[in-house]
Structure 1
Amino acid sequence: MRKYRVTYAALLVSTLVAGQLAGSIAVPVAAAAATSKNAAAPAAAPAFKFNSVPLGAGVTAVLENVNIWSQTGGNIVSYTLKYTNSGNSSASLLKYFSRVVTPGGSVLPGNPVGTDALKKKVGAKESLSVTYYVNVGQTSSLQGLKISMLVWDAKAKGYLKQTGSYAVPANYSTAAAAGTSLNTTMNDIPVTASADSLQLYKYGGKVYAKVGLNLTNKGNKVLGDPGYSAYLVSASGTSFELALSSTQADYKIQPQEKRSIYYLAEIPAYLKTDNMKLQFTQKDETTKLELPKSAYKLPAATSPNLVVGSGVVKKIIVNSNTIETLIRNANVYSQDADAVWTFQMQIKNTGNKAVTLPSYELAVKSQKGTTFPVSAKGLSGVTLKPLETKIIPLTVRVPLEVEQSGLQLLMIEAVGADNISGPDSSGTSEGAGTTGTPGTPAPASPVTATTKMIFPVAYFVIPYALRADVMTGQEYMTTNSYGSFSYSIQSLQRYPWRDDDIVAARLRITNTQTVSLTIPELKGSIKLDNDSLPVTTELYMDNKESSVLAPGKSVELYVLGKIAYTSEFRDMRVALNGTQNSESVPFLDLSVNNSINSIPTIAQGKSYTISKKGKAASLKENKTTVYEGENYNLVYTELLLSSEEKRQSKMARLQAYYKTKDGQYFEASSSQSDNSASPGAKQLVVFWTKLPKAADIADISLYLGAGINGGKLIESKEEATGFVDVAALQLNPQGNVPASTLASTVLYPYTISVQSSEGKHLRSSDTLDITINYGLKRDNQYDAGALEHKLILQITDPFGISTEKTLTLGTDLTEGTNNQYSLSISRTLYKTMGGGAYSLTFYDEFQGERIKLGSQAYAVTNVNPVKPEE
């Protein structure tokens, strides 16, 4: 305990002694050297060498560096002494003391920083560096500052003996000169550092400074976060805390690797930028003080031109990797009161490491400076593998009243509160923007900023190009975020659908790459003219399950929109969008004028073809008949569908509308087999509709197509929401000519052959008995759905009175060659019948309407009653 009391007393005495000696401290040789012929030029800190001061017993000390940093609670001077012990035994540092003497005469003891407080001795034949700090109050310059060295000596007055001192020369600089390198350490790893650049940018009425530092890791370990705060310091001493650029998020420098690190700050527009320096500080956790570290004089400020010409590649550096950016495929079209601009940003990682882009803000600026925001979700945070290229689609709406030529896309780096450099330069502490004001020293600890700092990266010139209409049948090339491909519009059609019309665009996409093209799950949209509201749409893609297109392969898809049948329009916009990370991403966007293709016509007797995968078939008219009703006519069409698949498969459900000569459309009801069709098998498909009696059916056609629902072709009994591949099948309505006999009556799929009929009447009886001998044969060559035809048998007696029977084929009349059907008709009138003839007539009844198939008369035989035996 006594020893510590004596030491404490000695320290008190030494303070008084040092104060008495302050005015007569000798300037070391190094100071004299500074007055040589080069004294006029400021000396860089690493170039100036102080002479060593002997401390006794083979121990010497040399001042390695001295720095000063402004603090709110008093300015802090830090200095580093290197002790060298040439003796054969260790030397205790408790016997050596240093004092800082200010120009005003204050004598202040140096205290070791927290990390060096435990350094108590220097070993034999070894050297040891210790950093000390002193609060010098309002002293703001190193000029006139002196550091004296003292040793414990019990014989000396005050127990301390001065052995030498260091006077900081007037031309001493704490910063490495611009263009020169400084060998120093970070995280105990040797590094070589030098100032790279000082660039000034103006954006949004503010001025931003970008400071570059070159760092080379000279050690054999990875250099990580050194834990420094960075400041931009003006010649007058005003400091601004720097934020680490968000393009430097990966603060890891490999051994022997050289990296350029960039820092950002907002500065006042009126600030003089001559002779600025980059200052690093480190917080001492023990004292909670911010201690100055290395500093670098910056070269003269420059203001780079950020404007990127049309078609020019702009290179940006992200984590030491070069990213090439390019604006391409810019075009514009009008919608409502806006010009809608669409373009793409192509980004390519030309480096050899994966890179994740920082947060960016995008906006389009007019010639008068008005800006319009652009969503940057697809750009910010995207990861690029080495040599990978990605396409980012961008869209912006600019009012038509704004001059559309001369627009620029502004690419802005967003540095938020989580990107500030200090106290660690990995960008994990808070604060951004400026933390000092002109004439005010920077605070001892970083000020937490609540707003982000935005920093301009590039101004891309957007070429003014109206989006050209796509022509039907012409091939176009495009590239998007999914890859490169060609596309063409195969057809544009308009045809009826219930109370509306369908407009359908059939597109073909071909993979033009040498690698596979992945087609995402697409959604389509249609907009007409300048209507901002999209049309209700449905998308169908042939072979939808194939989402990957091999090189050179194609796929067809249909975008269908339902519009009022009275709608008229000039232009149509068709858009396809995929989804990435729950965000809608454009796949293809095109405009077409109202060049609606005419529905292709299929001549009478020719076939309509379905070429869809798994549903390939051809259809041909079998017959078209008119059932003449009292108030309307029923048109009935049978089509023969032939499967062209090589496997048994279910056929597509067909949808149809009848079109009359005067342009009226009538939705057709249908009947179609639900059974699978074998290769080459035929099915009977039936359509019918009711037409007004006045409708001209001479040139009637059937608008025929394959039904879809939910983006796929449907089968029989499934409900359709639209149909595709529509063609007009010209029909050949045939008038019905009844047969004069019943020898062969066809009601598909049956043929009835009446071989004979006998009518017997018992004299004076009221009953006529009729027997029909027939054959019934079923035709099984076609598969059909429920046809709902009824066979009506009409019997007309000798008095001209008719009686009807509905016969169910297969039940009332059975299949076979020698069958008999009997019936009896009773009327009081028949009691007087003395013979005559009756006729049998067959009718085909469908949906309540009839056509006569054939009729034949037969004689009535009167039979005398058998007298009872007497």
Structure 2
Amino acid sequence: MKNKLKKVIVATTVLGLTQAAWINNVPMVQAATPNNTSQTQKAVKTLSNVPVVKLSSKSSVRITDVNVLTQDEGKLITYTLTYTNNEKKSLQLVDYWTKVRSKSGTSYTSKLLTQDAEKKSVAAGSTLSVTYVTTVGKNVQLSNLNFEIVKWDFSKPNYESILGKINIPDSYTVATPVNTVKKVRINDIPVKIKVQGLQTFSASDTSNYASVKINLHNVGYKGLENPNVKWVLRTKGGSSYPLNLNSNDTTYSVQPQESRSINYITTVPKKVKLDGAELIMVQENEAEKSVIPLATMQMPKSTSLQNTEIKVGKVHTITLEDNKGKMATSVGDVSVSQTHGNNYYTVNFKFKNTGSREVAVPKYDFSVQNKKGNDYPLSTKALDNLKLKPDEERLIRLTFSLPYDEADGTLKLVMNTPKAEGTEGTGSKEIKFSYPAGTYILPKATSMQQSIGTESTLQIQNGTLGVTWNSVQRLPWDNADVLSARVTLRNVSTNTLKLPQLKGMLSIDSADIADTQLLISQNSGLLGPGMSIDVHLLTSLPTNLDVAQLQVALSEVVGENTSELIRLTHIGQLPQIPQVELGSNYALNTPGKKSELQVKRTLIYPGTSSDIVYTELQVKNIEDRQIDLAKLTGYYESKNGEYYKTTVKQIDYPAGPGDSALVTMWSKIPRKTVVSDMKLLIGETISGDTGKEGTTTGAGYVDAASFELKPDQESTLNTIKNLEIYPFTLQTRDFKASLSGGSTVNLSWNYDAVRNNDMNMPESEHKLIVQLIEPTGKVFDKEIVLDKDLKEGNNKFLNWTVEDVVFEDRRSGAYTIAIYDEFQGQRIKLATQAMGFVPAVGNLPGAE
């Protein structure tokens, strides 16, 4: 039984046409009504014209329904006999039966359907129908068969008396005429069925979709739940094409007195003509172990449906299956970026629920067609589990790429209904149906080429953002380069916007970089009207990789899915890093951390094989509140393109409004390198950690500028009377070295010290070295720690002793004092002065 079913019915779960706008908006072609039926149609004879067979003077039987289903092993025929009893007593059906015999005498077994087996009699004054099933040869024509009505007659040799023969001439039609209601019993429930229309449209170069719309009207008193009937489209030539039901309606029900229209679809080769086709309703009959045809209906003339194209700027309304809701669909802005050999498009597409109840948006498949008619599918997860409340809108973005030679001319976006697959266990090949729910002509795309510095608009769910790609920088970073792009998002709406969860992607020469970092300048996801935030996209590159084309893409993250919002493109050389002249300020405009940077001075501490280049910066808080200043990264850059990463030290506590802080940067640079024309790259460190002693390490830096440097070339002073070692200014009152007559020298430095407190400072790494050089060349150093040994105030003293045999028995003589600024073990001589030992009283440093 199941094998027979498989030969007739294939998949039962397929796409329903009610999801498509055309099936609801284009009226079905109806057959002519009795008032305008042609003369030819009036001449067609049906089963009602077949003569009855008399059972008695007042009772008769006639054939009222015949259905033929062609199978590989033969034709399965069901025929219904309707008994009319006008007698005053019941008519016993046990006295009558039927045989099927060909005109040549071949007899075929006929069997009463199990559902009618309990029908024993026809009450007086009533009618009763019973249905039989028989199987004949595949080539046997219906007109060659006689349906015999037999009565028991014990006076005959075989006890049979043939009361009459029913023959259906070839010119007769057994199918229910077009535009006529057929009453059948489905699951023993009376149902009126009517074919409402047949439409065809192109499925491929070789096949068409055939769509049949059928109305079911339950005229019984019980609900029709999950009817297991199937439908077959049979052409005039005898070919059968199983129809497949809308996947959403596989468990539909029809309540008593309810009328419901159901849509079915199949594929038919284009060369097959559907004029004169018939629709056969079949049902699996467990008792008969077979598939039984229950009704045959003539099909109206098919209409060919051309896909309606929605013009630019127009709204296309889609009625969902079985009128469960309506959605307005439209195409918004389209943007295009060029990649190597391809155009990369982003299409804004909007759904709006225009109905009065929540709807689930079908998982439409999208594709794009060019002027050649070539079709390019695109994918999106934006419709996964998407539901819309009444009047709710949802904007999705569709992205696709086309080769240059395929992107010329007008493009069309095709929204196809979801594909439905054949049900397992049907024994059929996998069936997939999909057809256009809408074809939208795309407007001319806005180019996103060379988009640095240009604001583009971006529609999000609750408003509009202005998107500006402000800068892109390629900077040295350890053994690689760091590539960063800064994008500003500005609320151009009049209401507060909630930003979507964002993901960023940098693409170099069409290759997306999966490890792109995205950093947002503030934690809040709300933007008031006119407010803006900065978004940085960051990745690392090999130092020898050339970049001809760079793209920046922002996507919205919803659950585990992402949907691209915008993609911007830059071709050619990257913009130059901002240059800052000596003495000028550079603004770091990170919201919440706005500050100004200025180079104060640069020093060179000479060494044996390398010099230390040291720079002091002033960083000023220009916010109106206390902030943690941005952590900085620096690289010295030589004229010939060599980079040296700096060690950075800065305060690890907040700076008040308008306060400034000192930041120091330094690096050891080989002596062969020319440092006089160096520049200093400075940027804000991101994703960094603050380590010991306030040093900062990070994953990169952004918003860098190149600062002009001019190393100080001040000569050594020939007196120690007035000294500068930041943040102190020193004035020497007296300096003396007193001989003791033995091996000890007592040194005393009497000074005034003024500390500059204009800037907050990290712990100083500088030391003051006071060096005593005696006449034989021996050198004695005294290390003085700033803010510890050297203290602010007037008339301060520093006392220490030097002991060496060179001083034994010495009563007088000269020595030299040299004072150094020492940093990381390397020194700059600040001043030197020759002086004389005294036995008891010191001497004031000489005049200049």
Q: TM-score, normalised by structure 1?
A: 0.75
Shift of 1:320: 3.7
Aligned to 1:13: none
Aligned to 2:485: 505
Shift of 1:503: 4.5
Letter of the 2:780 partner, please give it: T
Aligned to 2:68: 68
Tell me, yes or no, if structure 1 residue 588 matches structure 2 residue 555: no
Tell me, yes or no, if structure 1 residue 521 matches structure 2 residue 499: no
Q: Is the alpha carbon distance of 1:211 and 1:662 closer, same or farther for their aligned partners in structure 2, counting shifts above 3 Å?
A: closer
Letter of the 2:517 partner, please give it: E
The answer to whether the Cα contact below 8 Å between 1:657 and 1:666 also exists between their aligned partners in 2 is: yes
Q: Is the alpha carbon distance of 1:402 and 1:675 closer, same or farther for their aligned partners in structure 2, counting shifts above 3 Å?
A: closer
Corresponding residue to 1:489 among 466, 469, 474: 469
Tell me, yes or no, if structure 1 residue 287 matches structure 2 residue 294: no
Letter of the 1:70 partner, please give it: T
Tell me, yes or no, if structure 1 residue 703 matches structure 2 residue 704: no
Q: Is the alpha carbon distance of 1:344 and 1:184 closer, same or farther for their aligned partners in structure 2, counting shifts above 3 Å?
A: farther
For residues 218 and 528 of structure 2, the distance between their equivalents in structure 1, rounded to whole angstroms, comes to 50
Aligned to 1:264: 265
Q: Structure 2: where are the runs of 5+ without partners?
A: 1-38, 842-848
Corresponding residue to 1:655 among 615, 633, 649: 633
Moved more, 319-328 or 273-282: 319-328
The answer to whether the Cα contact below 8 Å between 2:419 and 2:432 also exists between their aligned partners in 1 is: yes
Q: Is the alpha carbon distance of 1:412 and 1:354 closer, same or farther for their aligned partners in structure 2, counting shifts above 3 Å?
A: closer
Q: Is the alpha carbon distance of 1:77 and 1:827 closer, same or farther for their aligned partners in structure 2, counting shifts above 3 Å?
A: closer
Corresponding residue to 1:540 among 498, 502, 519: 519
Tell me, yes or no, if structure 1 residue 236 matches structure 2 residue 217: no
> Secondary structure of the residue that 2:44 maps to in structure 1?
coil
Aligned to 1:422: none
Q: Is the alpha carbon distance of 1:255 and 1:790 closer, same or farther for their aligned partners in structure 2, counting shifts above 3 Å?
A: farther
Shift of 1:395: 1.7
For residues 257 and 784 of structure 1, the distance between their equivalents in structure 2, rounded to whole angstroms, comes to 85
The answer to whether the Cα contact below 8 Å between 1:673 and 1:683 also exists between their aligned partners in 2 is: yes
Alignment of 1:309-708 (within 5 A): 311=312, 318-320=320-322, 335-338=339-342, 343=347, 354-357=359-362, 360=365, 362=367, 367=372, 374-375=378-379, 388-398=393-403, 404-405=408-409, 417-418=421-422, 428=423, 448-453=427-432, 456-457=435-436, 467-479=447-459, 485-498=465-478, 500-511=480-491, 516=497, 518-528=499-509, 532=511, 534=513, 537-543=516-522, 545-547=523-525, 553-563=531-541, 571-579=549-557, 582=560, 584-594=562-572, 596-602=574-580, 604-629=582-607, 633-643=611-621, 649-658=627-636, 666-677=644-655, 682-690=660-668, 702-708=680-686
Alignment of 1:41-80 (within 5 A): 41-43=43-45, 63-80=63-80
> Secondary structure of the residue that 2:173 maps to in structure 1?
coil
Corresponding residue to 1:806 among 765, 783, 792: 783
The answer to whether the Cα contact below 8 Å between 1:373 and 1:396 also exists between their aligned partners in 2 is: no
For residues 633 and 328 of structure 2, the distance between their equivalents in structure 1, rounded to whole angstroms, comes to 52
Aligned to 1:785: 762
Letter of the 1:675 partner, please give it: Y
> Secondary structure of the residue that 2:174 maps to in structure 1?
coil
The answer to whether the Cα contact below 8 Å between 2:53 and 2:165 also exists between their aligned partners in 1 is: no
Letter of the 1:726 partner, please give it: A
> Secondary structure of the residue that 2:837 maps to in structure 1?
strand
Shift of 1:671: 0.6
The answer to whether the Cα contact below 8 Å between 2:505 and 2:514 also exists between their aligned partners in 1 is: no
Aligned to 1:197: 198
Tell me, yes or no, if structure 1 residue 847 matches structure 2 residue 824: yes
For residues 784 and 388 of structure 2, the distance between their equivalents in structure 1, rounded to whole angstroms, comes to 77
Shift of 1:281: 0.9
The answer to whether the Cα contact below 8 Å between 1:266 and 1:453 also exists between their aligned partners in 2 is: no
The Cα offsets for residues 92-139 of structure 1, whole Å up to 9 and x where unpaired, read as 755554444554455667533233434556789987654332334447
The answer to whether the Cα contact below 8 Å between 2:358 and 2:387 also exists between their aligned partners in 1 is: no
Moved more, 341-350 or 67-76: 341-350
Alignment of 1:725-804 (within 5 A): 725-730=703-708, 734-736=712-714, 747-748=725-726, 755-763=733-741, 765-773=742-750, 782-797=759-774, 801-804=778-781
Moved more, 122-131 or 646-655: 122-131
Q: TM-score, normalised by structure 2?
A: 0.77
Q: Is the alpha carbon distance of 1:212 and 1:547 closer, same or farther for their aligned partners in structure 2, counting shifts above 3 Å?
A: farther
The answer to whether the Cα contact below 8 Å between 2:632 and 2:682 also exists between their aligned partners in 1 is: yes
Moved more, 467-476 or 316-325: 316-325
Aligned to 1:17: none
Moved more, 233-242 or 111-120: 111-120
Q: Is the alpha carbon distance of 1:238 and 1:103 closer, same or farther for their aligned partners in structure 2, counting shifts above 3 Å?
A: farther
Shift of 1:654: 0.9
Give the number of aligned pairs.
Answer: 794
The Cα offsets for residues 141-191 of structure 1, whole Å up to 9 and x where unpaired, read as 443655555667888987777777765465543333334444555452634
Shift of 1:670: 0.9
Q: Is the alpha carbon distance of 1:70 and 1:694 closer, same or farther for their aligned partners in structure 2, counting shifts above 3 Å?
A: closer
Aligned to 2:131: 131
Q: Structure 1: where are the runs of 5+ without partners?
A: 1-36, 419-427, 432-447, 865-870
Q: Is the alpha carbon distance of 1:715 and 1:609 closer, same or farther for their aligned partners in structure 2, counting shifts above 3 Å?
A: farther
> Secondary structure of the residue that 2:468 maps to in structure 1?
strand
Q: Is the alpha carbon distance of 1:227 and 1:750 closer, same or farther for their aligned partners in structure 2, counting shifts above 3 Å?
A: same
Aligned to 2:701: 723
The answer to whether the Cα contact below 8 Å between 1:88 and 1:124 also exists between their aligned partners in 2 is: yes
For residues 142 and 527 of structure 2, the distance between their equivalents in structure 1, rounded to whole angstroms, comes to 72
Letter of the 2:292 partner, please give it: L
For residues 110 and 236 of structure 1, the distance between their equivalents in structure 2, rounded to whole angstroms, comes to 27
> Secondary structure of the residue that 1:177 maps to in structure 2?
coil
Instruction: Report the aligned-residue RMSD.
Output: 4.9
Letter of the 1:640 partner, please give it: Q
> Secondary structure of the residue that 2:212 maps to in structure 1?
strand
Identity of aligned residues (%): 26
For residues 350 and 259 of structure 1, the distance between their equivalents in structure 2, rounded to whole angstroms, comes to 22
For residues 89 and 361 of structure 2, the distance between their equivalents in structure 1, rounded to whole angstroms, comes to 55
For residues 75 and 411 of structure 1, the distance between their equivalents in structure 2, rounded to whole angstroms, comes to 42
> Secondary structure of the residue that 1:70 maps to in structure 2?
strand
> Secondary structure of the residue that 1:176 maps to in structure 2?
coil
Q: Is the alpha carbon distance of 1:863 and 1:383 closer, same or farther for their aligned partners in structure 2, counting shifts above 3 Å?
A: closer
For residues 620 and 538 of structure 1, the distance between their equivalents in structure 2, rounded to whole angstroms, comes to 29
For residues 249 and 115 of structure 2, the distance between their equivalents in structure 1, rounded to whole angstroms, comes to 28
Shift of 1:855: 5.1
The answer to whether the Cα contact below 8 Å between 2:648 and 2:695 also exists between their aligned partners in 1 is: no
The answer to whether the Cα contact below 8 Å between 1:659 and 1:701 also exists between their aligned partners in 2 is: yes
Q: Is the alpha carbon distance of 1:86 and 1:716 closer, same or farther for their aligned partners in structure 2, counting shifts above 3 Å?
A: farther
The answer to whether the Cα contact below 8 Å between 2:811 and 2:839 also exists between their aligned partners in 1 is: yes
> Secondary structure of the residue that 2:236 maps to in structure 1?
coil
> Secondary structure of the residue that 2:115 maps to in structure 1?
helix
The answer to whether the Cα contact below 8 Å between 2:50 and 2:166 also exists between their aligned partners in 1 is: no
